[in-house]
Structure 1
Amino acid sequence: MATQTFNLPDVGEGLTEAEIVQWRVKPGDTVAVNDVLVEIETAKSLVELPSPFAGTIGDLLVAEGVTVEVGAPIITVADGSDSPSAPATPAAASEGGGSVLVGYGTMGEVKSRRRKVVQDPVVSSAGVIAKPPIRKLARDLGVDLTHVAGTGPAGEVTRDDVVGQASQASVFRNIQTPQWGAEREETIVVSPTAAADGSADDDRQETIPVRGVRKVTSAAMVRSAYSAPHVTVWKDVDASRTMELVKRMKASPDFAEIRVSPLLIMARAVIWAAQRTPMVNAAWVDGDDGASIVVRNYVNLGIAAATPRGLVVPNIKDAQNLSMRELARALEKLTLTAREGKTTPADQQQGTITITNIGVFGMDAGTPILNPGESGIVALGSITQKPWVVDGEVRPRWVTTVSGSFDHRVIDGDGMSRFIADVASILEEPALLLD
């Protein structure tokens, strides 16, 4: 009986390591070619690895939660033949829409990662008809399924039902600050820590390994902060007419069943303003023959999204070609995909300019760090009613702050100031978009 060794493949992202998230098999199980063996997490996505061999599972060589390098052996499979044992290295793998590894076959839909926490979160849902992905979505959005009226067959709760129940939440995360509970992303309790009096205390601290999305995010932010000279400008804006437009769009049949928020107007404003100041949408490139600036005549609009797996920045490709309705649809799809942990590496690549919506966390303004490879990032602050002088009189108006950081190697202060002023002018008078 020959034993084949399955080495961790490069899944086509140019990465060097991955974490074993969940084994789908155990020793003694019989598998066919393309049966899923394990779910791994790279720095950018979750991937299910199918078996390149048919046979009986031998040893699981790596425990769940352990990060290993590409090429390391992770499992053995006995193929039942009489040929001598020989290690096998499967063909290089690459993702195709998050579902195909070249040389392995179709894997099916990549599932969202299950959090490893000290105490499993419990969603009170006795008697509720809902599939596991819907229950997970409800947990992520903080929705109690017992309070959701199912509209599916036989009263089954659908994704739209859950999202609708959480519609008062922010675009990417509930505005309310969560309680300090036992549930954390990737929380691992360490060995007892000595308290001040010398006694052991399990509750005084915990260790969260830096890996996956957090590892890549931290490296990217350090690289960006120390390679590009950041400068930030900001402007207070009367966004009352934007709020009026959002209200009318929500009531319009043209936007029925489409999520509409001030972020939609902000996105449209950034696209419009970037076309008027192209350098904010450019990129600094270091080459063998010296540095150059690449001016891009298209907008791949990034939206910074806080997700259960950490910060991701998916982008809407060629956003300048989309109608307002199409842009609203694209933002909604981006949001749901990010919340469910299904943002693919392709969704996060080739961005040209980014929006971060810090207003959903109650923040008025900030100094955001550039997404690597980009020269501009815009932060939208909270939109709240404040006293504002209109025609010499103080009136309550919906006021926000727009701030923007830029790479001073690519664009100067006057250019970024014009860009932010353009964005502000659209929020103050959205009718300018009709020009």
Structure 2
Amino acid sequence: MNVKERYESAKEIYAAIGVDTDKAVETLENIAISMHCWQGDDVTGFDQKGPLTGGIQTTGNYPGKARTPEELMADIDKVFSLVPGKHKLNLHASYAIFEDGEFADRDKIEPKHFKKWVDFAKEKGIGLDFNPTFFSHSKVVDGLTLSSPIDEVRNFWIEHGKACIRISQYFAEELGIPCAMNIWIPDGYKDIPADRLGPRARFKDSLDQILSIPYDKSKVLVCLESKVFGIGLESYTVGSSEFTVNYAANNGIISLMDNGHYHPTEMVSDKISSMLLFNDKIALHVTRPVRWDSDHVVLFDDETREIAKEIVRNDAIDRVLLALDFFDASINRISAWTVGMRNMQKALLYALVSPNKRFKELQDTNQFTELMAMQEEMKTYPFGDVWDYFCEKNNVPVKGDWFREVMKYEEEVLSKRA
């Protein structure tokens, strides 16, 4: 049977348990995932030549990483040709593009330094998200930025945050799509601090100043991301979960959860329902932590599926800003991107073709034997046939055919990069 015939057979099987696969496919076509630009060049960016600092580290030296904006855009375009649907691109401020010898430090960057990215987004018909870059810079002093006790340092990063809000609004106005602007800082201490309150008080004041500038909150969706610890910051993180969740709730911005930014026994999938009860919107960075926040390529694994289930089961597709965050320099970067994006979509589709209403009824009526049995049976339903149809319907390669495209691109393009 061909893809369409297999899909029609799967459609009947799912219909017998009350699942409309046509509706699931249509719903997934309208879910935009924000793909992170930094997988393509190992988080290097274009505004500085130094090493990564601030708890950011990539491992591996697979050949062919993007070295210029043009190469990075070409690589991103290739990935989008292999991933079904229309998505967004997530930029860091360090990806500013300077021309004719011009340079602006991070406290002085302007919308014009991102015009080429806007032109690229317009050409591809996608939206842009944004992140201030509070790492890999000489003004990260003693591991601190917005919480620094040095006024000059803190003021520099406050101005950077304000500049990024202005750039985010430029993206939204140019593209007609709201821009999620996520704030994450690496600030913390390696050993037990003498003062836990002071750095957080300074961080709070810095955020207050950044958010004091006028901006359109319907166009710029400011998010605040927490972290449990980082390399060299093992004992104390200024932007902890408690800090960021409370600050966001009290200041009308969005909490962002990265599932690598918690204790290994904490699951973001379990946090989503609680956050949705008290927030109109939440944001996610989906990654794959291996023992710690090591930003591995997203797989079609248990936690990714559970995250997707919580989004779908709680009718929160329009309330969750969904982005990926990983960087792996040990494998082909185009493949890493493609695997991660397609797996996030697979997880969402898996949730969409589950009989969620029936599952809830069984739980609410204490029919746990049937609930377990049915959940287990679903694991061998013909989900793959629905996924293949979704790919074919969206004119992207089916099954592993995309990998041949990646290998061809490596041979023709990536292998020629010194």
TM-score (norm 1): 0.23
Structure number having the greater helix percentage? 2
Structure number having the greater strand percentage? 1
* Bigger relative CO (Cα 8 Å, ≥ 6 apart): 2
Larger-gyration structure (1/2): 1
